């Protein structure tokens, strides 16, 4: 009688709990990788926004040599609001009809006032002093979050933000601020209102579409700039000929499409997923980008104070990004 062949291979069956544990570990690893990818994406978008703002400042400075500031700002924001309404009309109308108006109006209003104040302040104080004070938004945001929402203020926050102030001072002030006058007060007020807008926009964006928030910000800014133009008599000056020059129109086109439509939409999109504190610190790359762009386009050189300050700011941005990712 033939004997059946028996395999020498031993099959060991693993318990069901092991398979579950392995599957669970794999899923967790995938989720961590997914979170890491999106964290990098969101942080990169805010850095892109900071670069776009740096270009806006330099281009706008050229345009404002011949066009009154409030007229330029009102046209820029008005056209942006029209574009947003044309592209996202259904979402905007839905949110206006169904979401409590005050929830998104006041954050938008604060940002609009901040933009108007910044345009006045930059004319009344040194550009370096303005850049330093305006960037203090990153320091004011966590204070507002602690005051209104009871968020913890950690040792890491203290170290990062103290270092950030030192870096901003070295980059922007470069050894000293001009005397503290009305321009400096307006710049500090601009930073405070921008911080308030960041914090409360983050809350409002849980209920409204980011494009609705951007539309309200641009709409409020347009109305306030028009009122300011009337009060200051800007319409009585001769500006139409210079406004329709090819240079000013190209700058306006960039400011509307890139500096407003894209840049503020990026900010509001990211605020849905990233804390205002992290956004505020990432936006401190703005004076660094401004210095670099000014060096390339205007031939302005950066001294040793600026180089050290830029290095400190970049280190703080990296530290805050890693801190944000760790919390995820």
29-43, 291-305, 310-324: range with lowest mean pLDDT: 29-43
pLDDT at 127: 63
Q: How confident is the model at residue 193 (pLDDT cuts 50, 70, 90)?
A: very high
pLDDT at 116: 84
As a whole number of angstroms, the longest Cα–Cα distance in the chain is: 116
Distances (CA, A) of 57 to 50, 119, 254: 11, 10, 11
Higher local confidence (pLDDT), 81 or 317? 81
> Domain-by-domain residue ranges, the chain?
46-327
Across the range 193-210, mean pLDDT stands at 91
- pTM for the full predicted model: 0.76
Lowest mean pLDDT among 177-186, 218-227, 300-309: 177-186
Q: In the predicted model, is pLDDT for residue 15 greater than 60?
A: no
Give the residue with greater pLDDT, 279 vs 325: 279
- In this structure, are residues 89 and 215 in contact, taking their beta carbons and an 8 Å threshold? no
- Better-scored residue on pLDDT, 236 or 115: 115
Task: Please tell me the distance from the alpha carbon of residue 176 to that of residue 216, in angstroms, as a whole number.
Answer: 38
pLDDT on residue 24: 45
| pLDDT of 3 | 45
Residue 222's pLDDT band (cuts 50, 70, 90) = very high
93: which 2 tokens? 């109308």
Q: What's the rounded mean pLDDT across residues 274-286?
A: 82
Q: With 70 as the cut, is the pLDDT of residue 218 above it?
A: yes
Cα–Cα distance, 106 to 114 (Å, whole number):
12
Q: Which two tokens stand for residue 316?
A: 């703080």
Structure tokens at 203: 């809350």
Q: What pLDDT is recorded for position 303?
A: 74
On the question of pLDDT at 294 being above 80, the answer is no
At 2, is the pLDDT very low, low, confident or very high (cuts 50, 70, 90)?
very low
C-alpha to C-alpha distance for 287 and 312, rounded to whole angstroms = 12
Q: For 41-57, what is the mean pLDDT?
A: 83
Q: What is the mean pLDDT of residues 243-256?
A: 90
What pLDDT score was predicted for residue 175? Answer: 47
Percent of the chain with pLDDT over 90: 26
> Is the confidence at residue 4, as pLDDT, over 50?
no
The predicted structure's pLDDT at residue 78 = 95
What are φ and ψ of residue 213, in 5° steps? Answer: -65, -45
DSSP state of 303: -
**Torsion-angle region of 299 (φ positive above 0: left; ψ -120 to 50: alpha; else: beta):** left
């Amino acid at each position: 009688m033939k004997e059946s062949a028996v395999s020498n291979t031993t099959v060991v069956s693993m318990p069901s709990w092991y398979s579950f544990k392995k599957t669970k570990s794999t899923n967790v690893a995938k989720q961590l990788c997914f979170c890491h990818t999106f964290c990098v994406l969101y942080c990169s978008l805010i850095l892109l926004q900071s670069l776009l703002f740096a270009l806006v400042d330099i281009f706008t400075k050229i345009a404002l040599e011949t066009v009154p500031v409030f007229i330029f700002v009102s046209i820029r924001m008005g056209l942006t609001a029209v574009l947003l309404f044309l592209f996202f009309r259904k979402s905007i109308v839905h949110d206006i009809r169904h979401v409590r108006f005050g929830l998104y109006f006041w954050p938008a209003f604060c940002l609009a006032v901040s933009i108007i104040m910044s345009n006045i302040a930059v004319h009344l104080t040194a550009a370096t002093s303005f850049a330093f004070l305006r960037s203090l938004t990153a320091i004011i945001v966590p204070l507002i979050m602690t005051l209104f929402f009871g968020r913890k203020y950690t040792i890491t926050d203290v170290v990062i933000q103290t270092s950030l102030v030192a870096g901003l001072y070295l980059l922007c002030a470069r050894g000293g601020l001009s005397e503290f006058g009305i321009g400096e007060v307006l710049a500090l007020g601009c930073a405070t209102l921008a911080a308030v807008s960041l914090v409360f926009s983050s809350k409002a964006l849980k209920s409204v579409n980011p494009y609705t928030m951007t539309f309200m910000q641009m709409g409020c800014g347009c109305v306030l700039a028009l009122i300011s133009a009337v009060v200051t008599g800007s319409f009585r000056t001769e500006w139409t000929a210079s406004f329709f020059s090819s240079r000013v129109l190209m700058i306006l086109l960039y400011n509307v499409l890139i500096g407003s439509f894209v840049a503020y939409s990026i900010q509001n999109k990211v605020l849905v997923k990233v804390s205002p504190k992290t956004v505020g610190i990432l936006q401190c790359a703005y004076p660094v980008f401004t210095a670099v762009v000014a060096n390339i386009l205007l031939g302005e050189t950066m001294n040793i104070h600026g180089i050290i300050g830029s290095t400190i700011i970049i280190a703080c941005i990296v530290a805050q990004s890693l801190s944000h990712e760790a919390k995820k």
